[in-house]
Amino acid sequence: MPAIDRTAVLFPGQGSQTDDMRDTAVRLRPDLVRLARDVVGEDPFARVEDGTRFQQPAIFCASLAGFDALDLEPDAAAGHSLGEFGALAAAGAIDATDALVLVAARGRLMDAAACDGPPAGMLAVLKGGPGDVEGIARDLDLTVANDNAPGQVVLSGPAEALDKAADAADRAGMRAMRLPVKGSFHSPAMESAVPKLRAALDRVPVRRPRYPVFSSITARPFGDIRHELALALTHGVRWRETLLAMRDAGLRRFAETGPGKVVTGLVRRTLPDVEAFAAKPEADHG
């Protein structure tokens, strides 16, 4: 197959919710929406703005519903953080219902870890290079949580240190913006959640995916799926490097499934020489 025809499907992470995603999920995967209500204890779509515990299962349902509507067998896939569960489910590595149970547990565990620690959060730093932002992180003992694209890096850590990082970024001519999360995600602050997520992963059958699924933590195809999903709680998302690795592997078309167009924007900023688009299911007007 010519390289230009090789297609990757990308699954978005937390923060990509849209107002219409519940309608899409109910129309295309009502079974997942019902299960989400059972495993969360209430409708996560109704409380999607209330944080991690609700956002993650809701976005997972909407993303997998969108993928099912594509009628596409991709050559590879990847997911941004939470999106890894959707990518692995789409590739047949984890059953969709098992993946949803894992996502709900992950959201609860991350939320609990955030609540147990001191005030913390995440800070997006724009217009700077990874090296510039890494220097600020080292000086203030912060974690580079997301290297998303050229000029977009996210730091994670204590609230007071993030305030200092924002001042440092402003002085250096960069733009800093606090994200609407209360946890220090993808950092050592999530360590307390790791053993329980590992235990949940051990209870779920895992199979070889039908096509390569790239880990956004290692920037290469998943090897030990359980280990790498647990590792992602405390390690940074190397999304820019993941996209570069996928292009180097011959992928030239990137279709984002799920709510929003965040990932499509990151692809276009990182890989200007590829085709990137948000593949959204058509509404049912019948």
**Residue 280, pLDDT above cutoff 50:** yes
The three-class DSSP label of residue 169 is: helix
pLDDT per residue as tens digits for the range 60-74: 999 999 998 888 889
Q: Alpha-carbon distance 80 to 216, whole Å?
A: 6
Question: For residues 51 and 4, which has the higher predicted lDDT (pLDDT)?
Answer: 51
pLDDT for 285: 34
pLDDT for 117: 83
Identify the residue whose tokens are 């290692």: 218
Taking alpha carbons only, the member of 133, 135, 124 closest to residue 176 is 124
Mean pLDDT computed over every residue of the chain: 94
pLDDT for 281: 67
Mean pLDDT over 98-105 rounds to 98
The percent of residues in the chain predicted with pLDDT above 70, rounded, is 96
Q: What are the distances in angstroms from CA 268 to CA 56, 272, 275?
A: 25, 5, 8
CA 80, 81, 82, 85 torsion: positive or negative?
positive
| pLDDT class of 137 with cuts at 50, 70, 90 | very high
Parse the chain into domains and list their residue ranges.
3-116+187-278, 120-178
Taking alpha carbons only, the member of 234, 223, 232 closest to residue 103 is 232
Taking alpha carbons only, the member of 253, 235, 234, 232 closest to residue 243 is 253
Taking alpha carbons only, the member of 160, 156, 36 closest to residue 108 is 36
Q: What are the distances in angstroms from CA 147 to CA 154, 188, 236?
A: 7, 17, 8
Choose the CATH number for 120-178 among 3.40.190.10, 3.30.70.250, 3.30.420.40, 3.10.690.10.
Answer: 3.30.70.250
| pLDDT class of 150 with cuts at 50, 70, 90 | very high
CATH superfamily of 3-116+187-278: Malonyl-Coenzyme A Acyl Carrier Protein, domain 2 (3.40.366.10)
Angle of helix 30-40 versus helix 96-116 axis, rounded to 10: 40
| pLDDT class of 131 with cuts at 50, 70, 90 | confident
**Residue 179 one-letter amino acid:** L
pLDDT per residue as tens digits for the range 75-87: 999 999 999 999 9
**Residue 4, pLDDT above cutoff 80:** no
Q: What are the distances in angstroms from CA 84 to CA 41, 198, 211, 237?
A: 23, 15, 14, 11
Query: Hey, do 3-116+187-278 and 120-178 end up sharing a CATH topology, with the first three levels equal?
Result: no
Strand-strand pairing, 152-158 and 76-79? unpaired
**Residue 23, pLDDT above cutoff 80:** yes
Say what the pTM is.
0.94
